[in-house]
Structure 1
Amino acid sequence: MSSARVLVAYGTKHGATAGIAEQVGESLREDGLDVTVLPADDVGDVRGYDAVVLGGALYAGRWSPGAKRCAERHAQQLNHRPVWLFSSGPVDRSAEQHGIPPVRGVARQMDRLGAREHITFGGSLTERTPGFLARALVREGKGGDFRNPERIKTWAHHISAELATPH
């Protein structure tokens, strides 16, 4: 039997969410799955995939436009396969200290898509992050890379285990 084909799509502004998506994809591949990682705006069709992981960066309490567009554009097909959602955003350790519920717009997408789960990961704001506001926050000592590779891997392996269990 061939391994499940999984799409990991992401909406990002400065690349931190892309890094999370790549880590999810790598961990799913370690578990023997056939994985494609793509920017959400590059997803043309989801019908060739057995499952989808869709992530988006959070900006001012909203999911990145690319992730939102992908969810809306493919809602009908996503409804017929297992879907997991993730957000990245907090530039502190809060995502590790307690579960952060999805923002309202992401919660709506979860309902529309019948998503199995949502998780929030820490984001990243470093001197390499473009933009005046980002640089100002880093200068004030409010930056850092708060993505936790172990937490991301654990979640991805959890998805693999769910896909291996008949529903």
Structure 2
Amino acid sequence: MKILVTVASRHGATKEIGTAIAAVLSAAGHSVDELDPTLVTGVTGYDAVVLGSAVYTAHWLPAARDFAAQFADDLARRPVWIFSSGLATQPSARANSPHEILALRDNLGARGHRSFAGRLDRSVLAFTERSIIAGARAREGDHRDFGAISAWAGQIATALAEMVVRTA
């Protein structure tokens, strides 16, 4: 199957999660394109899509929200999985539950949403971001669990393989 993995990432950590997901899907035999959501001109030609975003102030980044809105009708006609990555100060499901995720999941007919803890490097943050992080008492460091990320991507690969078998 041809899969699009598209991720909105402000400082690169969430994009690296997308790259890990793409690697698992590719290793499972799928043809995978990794593109920034702002560079995608359409989803025609893709059998499935994985869409992810960093979470800031309890919202997905505009590039991911805009992608989902622009291609909502086309995305609803193919398997879609979504993920979020953000603050690592709270349990990942709570810290990375963007306000719009339920509506987004329902609108796209997404087969699943997964939240992952992120990476925090204060040195790359703008003043406003550092202020928000200070208020949230976020812990610096890389809190991403690539084992969990790979396992989730493996579940997607299995679901895609089952779809191929059913249509054969």
TM-score range (shorter-chain normalised) is 0.7 to 0.9
CA pair 141-62 structure 1, distance change in 2 beyond 3 A: closer
Task: Say which of 121, 124, 131 aligns to 2:126.
Answer: 131
Task: Say which of 101, 104, 111 aligns to 1:109.
Answer: 104
Q: Which runs of 5+ in 2 are unaligned?
A: none
Contact 2:87 2:138 in 1 (8 A): no
- TM-score between both structures, scaled by the size of structure 1: 0.87
- TM-score between both structures, scaled by the size of structure 2: 0.87
Matched, 1:41 2:30: no
1:71 is matched with which residue?
Answer: 68
Match of 2:100, SS state, is helix
Query: Cα deviations across residues 68-117 of structure 1 (Å, max 9, x unaligned)?
Result: 0000000010010000000000223622xxx4474331211111010000
Query: Cα deviations across residues 102-157 of structure 1 (Å, max 9, x unaligned)?
Result: 4331211111010000000011111442323555758x872111111111100001
1:88 is matched with which residue?
Answer: 85
Match of 2:124, SS state, is coil
In 1: Cα distance, 2:37 partner to 2:66 partner: 8
Q: Which runs of 5+ in 1 are unaligned?
A: none
In 2: Cα distance, 1:31 partner to 1:83 partner: 17
1:160 is matched with which residue?
Answer: 157
1:12, CA displacement in angstroms? 1.2
Match of 1:85, SS state, is strand
Which aligned segments of 4 or more residues in structure 1 are displaced greater than 3 angstroms?
A: 99-102, 133-138
1:6 is matched with which residue?
Answer: 3
In 1: Cα distance, 2:83 partner to 2:63 partner: 13
Contact 1:54 1:84 in 2 (8 A): yes
Q: Tell me how many residue pairs correspond in the alignment.
A: 160
Contact 1:93 1:146 in 2 (8 A): no
Give the aligned CA root-mean-square deviation in angstroms: 2.0
Map 1:139-158 onto structure 2 (within 5 A).
Answer: 142-158=139-155
2:49 is matched with which residue?
Answer: 52
